[in-house]
Amino acid sequence: MPLHYDIPSLILKKLQEVITPEEEILLEAWLAADPANRVLLERLLDEPEVMADAKAFDELWGKERGIIRYNRMERNVLADTVFPAKQRWRQWFPYTAAAVLLLVIGTWKFFSNTATINSEAKIVHANDITPGGNRATLTLADGRSIDLSEAQTGIVVHDEDITYSDGASLVAIDNEGKKIEKVHQLMLATPRGGTYRITLSDGTSVWLNSASTLRYPSRFADNERVVELEGEAYFEVAKVAKQQGKGEKKEGWPFRVVSAGQTVEVMGTEFNIAAYPDDAEIKTTLVKGRVQVASDRERLSPTILVPGQQSTFNHEKIEVNTVDVQRYIAWKDGFFYFNGDSPEKAFAQLSRWYDIELSYASTIPAVQFYGKVERNKTLGSLLKILEKAGLEFEVVSKDSGYQLIIGANEESL
Amino acid sequence: MRAIDHYLCLLKDGHQQGLEYFMQRHLRALTYFARRMVKEVEVAEEIVQDCFVRVWESRNRFESAENVKAFLYIATRNACLNYLDAASTRRHARSEELSEDIQHPDSDVLTGMIHAETIALIHQELERLPEQQAVIFRLIYFNGLSTEEICESLGISANAVFLARSRATQTLKRVFKGRNLLYYIAFVQILVRG
């Protein structure tokens, strides 16, 4: 029997009782070719059997779960089948995951090194300050808040419930089990020193960085997918066409991220948005695909980004630059990544992740940071690396938290 | 030139688009096929992913799209058998690398493939149903709910059931002509109305 003949379609036609006499002949020929074929056909014509099989198939591929599974498997295969020439990041960053490379260059411009430490402040061992971890709070439509497990890395939104990424159950969206049509507004918030991943009902994955909030519906509307972001998040938007019903054309299903004064619209792509309220700017960095960035004021004339570009919105206008993308997305893979960063920018990241307040003992030194460091280190081991570059630190307890005092050591002056 | 041959060319030229096409075409049925053999979903997923990577690595060898499909099913079957044998430490030297095999897959692989593809087609029909009918379908056949239980769980969206009624009947006829699902739908509607 040649492989190319479409027996499954013939069997389906037989099931639906729409098979033509000519097709029946082809099917008979196939049945005659091997006794195993008749056994198979009988199984497929047996309703309880076929329903059990369809159920098993549905458990794999039905509903959002199926989309998520498919996207994950496709991603895994594509990641393993890239041409060596295309693995640009690996050429540029030949470090292993554990490797630490940190250089500090520049000149110290210290006028004074009189570190005035409050004598009442207690000096704290920096090794005791642990890095952030998987911490987040999920808020349900009814106002209930749930602290998510630190042993888990993410959650998945389904039609009827929300589970952890490994399938462990978390909460039913609607414990009545009745309101199938109803959409709930939900919120995921990370504290300082927290990060969490969420898979939305359409299969889109969102990595939420520290001190960030994502508001999203339990199910998206038919015409668009809208979420609200405050803080920083990396989006891997699922490219899905929403089926508009029988016979109608599949249409695009835009995904919008709304942050203070800015809307980013995409179809299916990967990008990072940093929109912290205490930052003067919103930065949108595109990794893959295409996005449109528009300010609320100029909604009708959006700016289009191509991969490698970053838009900066200062609440007045949008500027576009080509940037080192890794610098803006390394956090999602668990790294601090510096490429010529000023101390203010570098320490602002540490401050959010270790939940520490910053204080400079004197004028901020004009140095630049380069390198990639794992985020799961204690503050102490990270500071040890920075000390080698001529910086000096002291950690003191202040109010209910900690303060990091940054200065330069004697030899470097 | 058939579209499928166009994608075969893309695959052979080393474009991932070609591979994406074959995944779109076979990945679901193939994972289901593997799952039936090894039971654990995670193992089935791993095996199928690995087989697609191997398609990529041996892309120069395929002469037709049918070769790719045969390779996928044979390689998946063998990987599943090896996985099952691993417990008993037996290792079979299975030779899906040989091109003869791709031309003439054995009967087990063929029936398994046709079974998986037919179930995939049936599932595709289910996915095409409007949401409300898909819900009813799943409740009856996958969750084994009785008519009363369905009415109860759909109680609040009774209007949606009415509106969708005539279209549901039409569409379902196409899925399983003469099957008793239609009676269930009718029952649900009568009970909801009453």
Which ipTM did the prediction report? 0.81
Last residue of a domain, one of A285, A300, A328: A328
Please state whether beta strands A196-199 and A161-164 pair in parallel, antiparallel, or not at all (unpaired). unpaired
What CA–CA distance (Å, rounded) separates B164 from A249?
Answer: 19
**What would the mean pLDDT of A209-237 be, rounded to a whole number?**
91
A30 and A170 co-located in one domain: no
Residue A173 in contact with residue A200, Cβ under 8 Å?
A: no
Please state whether beta strands A318-322 and A335-341 pair in parallel, antiparallel, or not at all (unpaired). unpaired
Provide the strand spans (E) within A74-151: 101-107, 123-124, 137-139, 145-147
A296 and A406 co-located in one domain: no
Residue A282 lies in a domain: yes
A188 and A293 co-located in one domain: yes
pLDDT, position A251: 57
Residue A128 lies in a domain: no
Overall number of domains in chain A: 3
A263 and A158 co-located in one domain: yes
Chain B: residue nearest A46 by CA?
B179
Residue A126 lies in a domain: no
pLDDT, position A215: 93
Q: What is the DSSP letter of B87?
A: T
pLDDT, position B176: 53
**What would the mean pLDDT of B137-160 be, rounded to a whole number?**
63
What CA–CA distance (Å, rounded) separates B56 from B16?
Answer: 9
Indicate the pTM of the whole model: 0.48
A111 and A224 co-located in one domain: no
Residues 105-134 on B with a CB inside 8 Å of A are 105, 107-108, 110-111, 114-115, 117-123, 125-128, 130
pLDDT, position A115: 36
A156 and A291 co-located in one domain: yes
Please state whether beta strands A356-360 and A401-408 pair in parallel, antiparallel, or not at all (unpaired). parallel
What CA–CA distance (Å, rounded) separates B106 from A377?
Answer: 54
Residues 61-90 on B with a CB inside 8 Å of A are 66, 69-70
What CA–CA distance (Å, rounded) separates B66 from B110?
Answer: 12
Band of residue A248 on the pLDDT scale cut at 50, 70, 90: very low
Residue A280 lies in a domain: yes
Per-residue pLDDT reduced to its tens digit, A81-121: 875 433 333 333 333 333 333 444 333 333 333 333 333 44
Chain B: residue nearest A5 by CA?
B66
Chain B: residue nearest A57 by CA?
B32
A207 forms bridges with which residues in the sheet? A197, A234
A294 and A189 co-located in one domain: yes
Residue A125 lies in a domain: no
CA of A74, closest CA in chain B: separation in Å?
Answer: 7
Per-residue pLDDT reduced to its tens digit, A132-183: 888 898 888 777 888 898 888 899 988 778 889 888 888 776 545 444 456 7
* All residues at 6 or more sequence positions from A352 whose CB lies less than 8 Å from its CB, including other chains: A132, A192, A193, A209, A210, A211
What CA–CA distance (Å, rounded) separates A156 from A170?
Answer: 9
The answer, yes or no, to whether residue A394 has pLDDT greater than 90, is: no
Band of residue B149 on the pLDDT scale cut at 50, 70, 90: low
Residue A122 lies in a domain: no
Chain A: residue nearest B30 by CA?
A57
CA B5 to chain centre: 22
pLDDT, position A205: 93
Band of residue A260 on the pLDDT scale cut at 50, 70, 90: confident
Residue A153 lies in a domain: yes
Per-residue pLDDT reduced to its tens digit, B75-116: 999 899 888 877 555 444 444 444 335 666 677 888 999 999
Higher pLDDT, B188 or B41: B41
Last residue of a domain, one of A302, A328, A354: A328
A303 and A196 co-located in one domain: yes
Domain span holding position A172: 133-328
Band of residue A350 on the pLDDT scale cut at 50, 70, 90: confident
A322 and A340 co-located in one domain: no
The reply to whether residue A8 touches residue B120, judged by beta carbons under 8 angstroms, is: yes
The reply to whether residue A58 touches residue B175, judged by beta carbons under 8 angstroms, is: no
What CA–CA distance (Å, rounded) separates B110 from B127?
Answer: 25
A318 and A339 co-located in one domain: no
A324 and A223 co-located in one domain: yes
Task: Tell me the CATH number at A393.
Answer: 3.55.50.30
Residue B165, number of CB atoms within 10 A of its CB: 16
Structure tokens at A101: 């490379």
Task: Tell me the CATH number at A273.
Answer: 2.60.120.1440
Residue A124 lies in a domain: no
A109 and A155 co-located in one domain: no
Per-residue pLDDT reduced to its tens digit, A39-83: 999 888 887 788 889 889 999 998 788 888 999 999 889 888 875
Residue A380, number of CB atoms within 10 A of its CB: 16
pLDDT, position A181: 55
The reply to whether residue B14 touches residue A179, judged by beta carbons under 8 angstroms, is: no
Tell which of A14, A34, A51, A219 to mutate to test the B interface (max B CBs under 10 Å): A51
> Alpha helices, DSSP H only, in B87-180?
99-103, 107-128, 131-137, 147-154, 158-175
Last residue of a domain, one of A82, A117, A152: A117
Band of residue B36 on the pLDDT scale cut at 50, 70, 90: very high
The answer, yes or no, to whether residue A364 has pLDDT greater than 70, is: no
